[in-house]
């Protein structure tokens, strides 16, 4: 599965979420590759600090090629792509390759207004890649604030669904980054670690749902058989007609 973190706005938490998700998936014994597609190389720098993370990282400084990403995917269970803060041909390729694109937004109206450009690009990409799943992720929410609650309502104006999981503004995310570890390693059992585990579970569920939908479309006979089996089970549950 290829999950990308994408938003042309800088500083919204793409790298923070990508690194911690990759760690969480790897801790569940998945083979994970994080592609740092940002020339700034923040994820790659983070990886160098500790150096022995449970997942691999590739700092891709030149334009990513769709077929290269798809070849890489065959060797891993999950590819996580940390996209640059830009709207470019590279961004389009990342979206074309992704099963799920996550758009982190902080609870600020400036962030909401600025996501219109990336949503426009997503609409374009969907014409060629209709199975692309897209979700908003609320990041840096300040617990107990009105604006934190308002942003979820404001996001309903857009087409993508907002994930139930949210990441709050917490120093653990900043400190873990400084030491080159995930929040689960830095502060096991903390609220930040809990948020990442919930996010990981929700994203895995979204990708599985997407896969099941595609399987159904690509195998209509199996789908007919499944419906028929469900009907039989339903009738036997109801008792004799």
Ligand X SMILES: Nc1ncnc2c1ncn2[C@@H]1O[C@H](COP(=O)(O)OP(=O)(O)OP(=O)(O)O)[C@@H](O)[C@H]1O
- Sign (positive or negative) of CA dihedral 90, 12, 103, 77: positive
Q: Which of residues 144-203 bind ligand X (CB under 6 A)?
A: 167, 169-170, 173-174, 177
Q: Does 9 bind Mg ion (CB under 5 A)?
A: no
How far apart are CB 232 and ligand X at their closest, in Å? 49
- The interface partner of residue 114, options being Mg ion, ligand X, none and the CB cut-off 5 to 8 Å by kind, is none
37-45, 116-124, 127-135, 155-163 -> range binding ligand X (CB under 6 A): 37-45
- The interface partner of residue 135, options being ligand X, Mg ion, none and the CB cut-off 5 to 8 Å by kind, is none
- The interface partner of residue 169, options being Mg ion, ligand X, none and the CB cut-off 5 to 8 Å by kind, is ligand X
Q: Does 108 bind ligand X (CB under 6 A)?
A: no
Strand order in the sheet with 133-141: 56-59, 32-36, 78-82, 2-5, 100-105, 133-141, 161-168
Q: Which of residues 123-152 bind ligand X (CB under 6 A)?
A: 139-140
**Neighbour-count burial for 167-189, b at 16+ CB within 10 Å, e otherwise:** bbbbebbeebbeebbbbbbbbee
**Neighbour-count burial for 30-47, b at 16+ CB within 10 Å, e otherwise:** bebbbbbbbeebbbbebb
Q: Does 38 bind ligand X (CB under 6 A)?
A: yes
Residues that bind ligand X (CB under 6 A): 10-16, 38, 40, 42, 85, 139-140, 167, 169-170, 173-174, 177
């Amino acid at each position: 599965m290829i999950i990308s973190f994408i938003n042309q706005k800088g500083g919204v938490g793409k790298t923070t979420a990508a690194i911690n998700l990759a760690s969480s998936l790897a801790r569940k014994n998945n083979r994970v590759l994080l592609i740092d597609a940002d020339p700034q190389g923040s994820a790659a720098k983070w990886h160098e600090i500790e150096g022995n993370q449970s997942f691999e990282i590739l700092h891709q400084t030149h334009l990513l090629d769709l077929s290269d990403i798809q070849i890489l995917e065959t060797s891993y269970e999950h590819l996580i792509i940390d996209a640059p803060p830009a709207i470019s041909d590279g961004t389009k390729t990342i979206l074309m390759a992704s099963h799920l694109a996550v758009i982190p937004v902080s609870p600020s109206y400036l962030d909401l207004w600025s996501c219109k450009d990336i949503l426009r690009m997503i609409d374009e990409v969907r014409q060629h890649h209709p199975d692309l799943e897209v979700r908003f992720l609320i990041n840096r929410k300040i617990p107990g604030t009105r604006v934190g609650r308002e942003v979820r309502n404001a996001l309903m104006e857009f087409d993508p669904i907002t994930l139930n999981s949210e990441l709050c503004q917490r120093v653990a995310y900043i400190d873990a980054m400084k030491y080159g570890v995930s929040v689960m390693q830095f502060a096991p059992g903390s609220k930040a670690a809990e948020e990442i585990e919930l996010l990981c579970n929700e994203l895995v569920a979204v990708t599985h749902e997407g896969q099941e939908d595609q399987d159904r479309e690509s195998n209509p006979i199996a789908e007919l058989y499944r419906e028929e089996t469900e009907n039989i089970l339903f009738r036997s549950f109801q008792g004799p007609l």
